[in-house]
Amino acid sequence: MSDEGKTFIDTSQMDEKPIAPPTKTEGKKRDGLYILIIILLLIGGGYMGYMISEKNKDLNECSIESADLENELANLNEMMYDTGLDMGDDVQQNLKNMLTMYDRMESDNQGMNDSIMAQKEKINTLLTELEDAKGDKRYYMSKVYKLEKETQTLRSIMKDYIRTIDSLNTANGVLTENLNQTLTDLESMTESRDSYQDAAEELTDQVNKGSKLNAFDFLSEGIKEKSSGSYRETDRAKRCSHIRSCFSLGENAIAKSGNKTVYMRVITPGGSVLNSSNSNTLKTESGQSLLYSDKKIVNYQNKAVDICIFYELTQEIDAGNYIAEIYCEGVKIGSDSFVLK
């Protein structure tokens, strides 16, 4: 080595011993080892090739079997789908039959009607699901099988409803029969009551009629009042100052005793009623208002009593046939007629 014109000698390896070349024996051993390794590698490669070949055969067989299985599965799915269609039609028909049965059910119980409506909604939902599932051949059969189970459950519920409604209808029938019998008995009782009531009313009418007073022995006439205050009978219309009607009230044991107002109505030949005021009216039992000429209060004690009622004329009257009607407690109890010339 040189550095700027100088020469150096490397003495760092001068002390190391020189390496001796391999001997012939060692070379043969090494070659034999290499040959052995190569042989083993060839054997291993051949075995691996054999194994790979066998695996490829197995894979080919598996592929063939897989294809066969897929074909079988496809065929099976097709067969299951066809079977499912038949079952689906049965399930669909069963669901529709249940809807028809529910439509025929009648109940007066609102809670039962609400439950029936809820079951009908479930059935309609299942019908929709069944129709929607037809597009999936792979899972249609399992869907039909599931819906078949639900249909069986719904059928059991429907049978319970039918039994319940039959029981209610039976109970209602018994109640209706009892009600009809009760109505029959009530009608019979009503008829008996009406009969008793009619008899009572008839008896009451008879009592009411029997309790009415009766006027008889009439003497009705025109009279003229003298200057002395005394009266004299007259049959001349122009001379009359009063109209008088005398009569007897008959004895009546069932009539109510006490003061009674007796009214006299004097009816002229022309049909009008002589009166001193249009406010002089009496009410009949039928509610009719009648003018009266004059009245008198009598203390009646269920014994016969004589009575006279006077009507003072306010104007000259005409000749002709006059009628005097007597009323008491809204009933005409007697009448009389007389003639003035």
- Separation of alpha carbons 248 and 241, rounded Å: 23
Residue 108: the pLDDT is 61
Tokens of 146: 């599931």
Distance in angstroms (rounded) separating the CA atoms of residues 68 and 219: 140
Percent of the chain having pLDDT more than 70? 73
Closest residue by Cα to residue 335 from 325, 180, 327, 21: 325
Distance, in Å, from the CA atom of 155 to the CA atom of 165, rounded to the nearest integer, reads: 15
SS3 211: helix
Contacts of 138 (CB under 8 A, 6+ apart): 77
Q: For residue 308, what pLDDT band results from cuts at 50, 70 and 90?
A: very high
Domain at 215-340: CATH code: 2.60.40.10
Cα of 167 vs its chain's centroid, Å: 20
What is the average pLDDT value for the chain, to the nearest integer?
Answer: 78
What is the rounded distance in angstroms from the CA atom of residue 136 to the CA atom of residue 66?
23
Residues 143 and 130 sit within 8 Å (Cβ to Cβ): yes
pLDDT higher than 50, residue 282: yes
SS3 301: coil
Report pLDDT for 245.
Answer: 93
For residue 287, is pLDDT > 60? Answer: yes
Give the residue, 252 or 192, on which the prediction is more confident.
Answer: 252
Return the pLDDT at 261.
Answer: 93
Least confident of 7-11, 157-161, 307-311, 317-321: 7-11
Q: How long a stretch of residues is the chain?
A: 341
Query: In a 10 Å sphere around its CB, with 0-12 CB exposed, 13-18 middle and 19+ buried, how is residue 241 labelled?
Result: middle
One-letter identity of residue 30: R
**Residue pLDDT, tens place only, 80-133:** 555 656 677 777 788 888 778 777 776 666 777 777 788 888 888 888 887 787
> Contacts from 145-154 at CB under 8 Å and sequence distance 24+?
145/87, 147/88, 147/91, 148/87, 148/91, 150/126, 151/91, 151/94, 151/95, 151/98, 151/126, 154/95, 154/98, 154/119, 154/122, 154/123, 154/126
In this prediction, residue 35 carries a pLDDT of 85
What pLDDT, on the 0 to 100 scale, is given for residue 128?
A: 83
Q: What percent of the chain has pLDDT over 90?
A: 26
pLDDT at position 47 over 50: yes
Determine the Cα–Cα distance for residues 313 and 50; give it in Å rounded to an integer: 163
Between 92 and 203, where is the model more confident? 92
Strand segments, DSSP code E, in the chain are 2-3, 6-7, 215-225, 231-234, 242-249, 258-267, 281-283, 289-291, 294-300, 305-312, 320-328, 331-340
Residues contacting 82, CB < 8 A, separation 6+: none
Alpha carbon distance 51, 59 (integer Å): 12
More confident residue, 179 or 289: 289
pLDDT score of 295 more than 70: yes
- Taking only the tens place, the pLDDT of each residue in 130-187 is 778 776 766 677 777 777 787 778 777 877 777 777 666 666 666 667 667 777 776 7
C-alpha closest to that of 317 among 338, 332, 291, 336: 338
- Domain range list for the chain: 92-176, 215-340
